[in-house]
Amino acid sequence: MTEALEKRAGAGTGPLTWGGAEHEIGERAAGTGTRHRGFTLIELLVVIAIIAILSALLIPAVSNALESARMSNCRSNVRQWGLALTMYLNDHSGLFPKEGVTGSASIDKNETAAWFNVLPSYLDKESIRSINAAFGKFPEARDGSIWSCPTVTTHDQVALGVPRGQLFMAYAYNLWIDHGRRAQEWPGSGLGVLLTDIDIPDVTRFAVFSEGNGIFGNLHAAFLEYRHMREDEKVNVAFADGHATTHKKSDIFISTKTSNRGGVVWNPEGPMVD
């Protein structure tokens, strides 16, 4: 009896064959665990096509978002120049600073009364003259300064005719403001007197700063660089009350320097053309 129980217990500790099927079940399990099915060519082509479509949709959107951010940054720069001017006018009995250009309209960095040498202190910045004297250099495109529009690249700077290392200012002054330039632009007009803010009928519409080509220190709607959102050709303009707005070229461009358009006034004595 004892021997029979020991044999049965010993038999229970061995592998269960279940009618000899253990070996067959193991082979099936091993076989199904090692086989994988790859992508077919059609599936790969479908995935590639989807990626291409998504890229075509997303890349322009991202590009427009980046340009919109750069345009907003530029508008902030223009607005700061406008605000600096309003503070300067308050301190100087409404008298505007000079535009600081030579007879050829190029920038005269040593003109002490020019806007780019008298306004920067209101923004806690160094003037053009001080920057050049202290560091032997000038503002350039993409230098991240208040002088530079973030949309303008160094390639753009060179293409506009300003080599690297030379003075490049993305912003410029309304050419109507400077009394000396006005006398040259309109001989015999009596516009050679110093301009004050009381000569401006509506400071909220009178343009004082906008985006230039980096070479000339003065500008008008005909000379602006409409560099934002290339298809719409937009530009930022600061006004005599300190605010700044963005405009389409098609809304404000006018070829004559004696007229105005789109509600933006460059010459207060000139007519508004619709």
Q: What is the pLDDT of residues 140-175, one digit of tens each?
A: 887 888 998 988 888 888 888 888 888 888 898 888
pLDDT at 138: 84
- Model confidence at 21, pLDDT cuts 50, 70, 90, reads very low
Side chain identity at residue 230, one-letter code: R
pLDDT in tens, 89-145: 999 888 888 888 776 667 888 888 889 999 999 999 999 999 888 888 888 887 888
Look at 1 and 185; give whichever has higher pLDDT: 185
Q: Residue 41's CB: how many other CB atoms inside 10 A?
A: 7
Q: Residue 241's CB: how many other CB atoms inside 10 A?
A: 17
Q: 122, 107, 111: which is closest to 171 by C-alpha?
A: 107
Burial (CB count within 10 angstroms: exposed 0-12, middle 13-18, buried 19+), residue 45: exposed
Q: 185, 213, 211, 203: which is closest to 264 by C-alpha?
A: 203
User: Which region among 14-28, 43-57, 115-129 has the lowest average model confidence (pLDDT)?
Assistant: 14-28
